[in-house]
Structures are given as structure tokens and as C-alpha cells.
Amino acid sequence: DGGITQSPKYLFRKEGQNVTLSCEQNLNHDAMYWYRQDPGQGLRLIYYSQIVNDFQKGDIAEGYSVSREKKESFPLTVTSAQKNPTAFYLCASSLADRNTEAFFGQGTRLTVV
Amino acid sequence: QKEVEQNSGPLSVPEGAIASLNCTYSDRVSQSFFWYRQYSGKSPELIMSIYSNGDKEDGRFTAQLNKASQYVSLLIRDSQPSDSATYLCAVILPRLGGGNKLTFGTGTQLKVEL
């Protein structure tokens, strides 16, 4: 069935480690987004991509990196440069046309231990 | 000024009443507006989209858009306890050099009381 799959659902990271969060979609969507959500707060945009091999920084890109080698996949790496990575990470996708809705995966909860 | 602003609430309404949620945005070129509902610990789910001035109704939900005032709202009629959630306003901001940036407000927490 079609949808957006994020994995893992829960992730624990030690201080100083890089971790990669997976986001895969089979909706044939062109645009993909990564957001971070902290408790009691809204969604803040980390990176977004409209087409393969191209992506733009969002509002809080420092300490994160992405790639878009395939249309279906938009992995997010949380690097050791991100000083406060504990958060709920959400991936979304949509058609590239601005008048289309975005749909979300189930999220990955990252905790630094 | 934030790109998308919402009152964080909580907004409390009695069961059966109309809940009114408001959102303002800063960029006049914005053309696409969405309302998402998010239950605690879950990912957001789309409930309404609106692209032109006026009202758009879908069941108990009505979205209202006023581009001149840069204002979008969501009305929930006959509010139910299951409507208790955080409601996120989202706006697509076209960017020079490519890309449509989907930006969210901080959300309004709605509580429907028995």
C-alpha cells in the first residue's frame, strides 16, 4: 500500500555519534521535507527537496545533512555538530505543484543517551 | 515577525460548541494553506486545504481564507472530545531559485470538554 515510511520509530544516540534517519515514499511525490518537533512546539523545517539531486536548507539546517539520490528516498543524517538532537523528527512528501497537500510519515523519536 | 503565527492556546470549548482557530501569515505571495491535526505523540494528519478567498466546507470543518488580511481560520462545528488535539496551520511559501517551502505555525491546542 502507498505511503511514507520512516524508520526506525525510536532511535538512541550516544554523544558524538552521527545517525541517519530513513524516509521512503512510494507515492511518486517529487517534493520531500524534514521537520523537527520539540515538546509543545510546532514543526521547524530542516531541509527540503523538490527534485532528485537537489535540496535546500530550511530554517534549522545546522548540524544536519541530507541526500536525494532517488525520488523515493530522502535520508537525514544528524551529525555530532547538532548540539541538542533529542526531538521528534518528521518526514513529509508532496507533489511539486504548490497547490498540493503534504503527507507525513509516522515519525522517528531520537534520544541522546 | 514569524512567517506563520498561531495562538498556542489551550482553547477550551464545551462539547457541541463551535471551535474557532486562527492563523496569520507574513508573505503576501503565499497561495496554498493547510490545516493539520496532531494528536499527542503522533504525526500530523491533513484535515483541510484552501487556495482561494472565501470558505471551504468539509463535514464539520470549514476553512476560511482572507488573502487581503493574510488570515486563515478553521471552524469546527459540533465539537467532540475526539477533536481534542493540536491544530497546525501550514503555508506554502514560494522561494526564488526554486522550491516551495512548507512552513508551519506553532499550533493551537484545542480541548473539548464534556
Q: What is the pLDDT along chain B (114 residues), one digit of tens a residue?
A: 788 999 888 999 999 999 999 999 998 888 899 999 999 999 999 999 999 999 999 999 999 999 999 999 999 999 999 999 999 999 998 776 666 788 999 999 999 998
Q: Which residues of A9-21 are buried (b: 16+ CB within 10 A; e: fewer)?
A: eebebeeeeebeb
Tell me the CA distances in angstroms from A8 to A24, A42, B80, one per residue in order. 12, 22, 33
**Whole-number percent of chain A with pLDDT over 90:** 78
* SS3 of residue B81 by DSSP: helix
For residue B20, which of B84, B71, B76 has the smallest C-alpha distance? B76
User: Considering only alpha carbons, which residue of chain A is nearest residue B93?
Assistant: A98
**Taking CA atoms, what residue in B is nearest to A43?**
B104
Between residues 30 and 49 of chain A, which touch chain B (CB distance below 8 Å)? 31, 33, 35, 41-45, 48
Instruction: Enumerate residues 75 to 114 of chain B having a beta carbon within 8 A of any beta carbon in chain A.
Output: 88, 90, 92, 94-95, 97-107
Tens of pLDDT, residues B16-30: 999 999 999 998 888
- The distance of A85 to chain B (nearest Cα, Å) reads 17
Question: Scanning every residue of chain A, which has its alpha carbon at the shortest distance from the alpha carbon of B5?
Answer: A42
Chain A: closest CA distance from residue B100 (Å)? 6
Query: How many Å apart are CA A90 and CA B28, to the nearest integer?
Result: 27
The predicted-structure confidence for A57-111, as pLDDT tens digits, reads as follows: 999 999 999 999 999 999 999 998 898 999 999 999 998 776 788 999 999 999 9
Residue range A22-60, pLDDT digits in tens: 999 999 999 999 999 998 788 999 999 999 999 999 999
In order of A25, A67, A75, B1, the CA distances from A22 in angstroms are: 10, 11, 5, 33
Percent of chain A scoring above 70 in pLDDT: 97
Report how far residue B4's alpha carbon sits from residue A106's, in angstroms, rounded to the nearest whole number: 24
Closest-CA distance, B104 to chain A, in angstroms, reads 6
Please tell me whether residue B82 adopts helix, strand or coil conformation.
Answer: helix
On chain A, the residues whose CB falls within 8 A of the CB of B94 are: 98
Question: What pLDDT shows up at residue A100?
Answer: 82
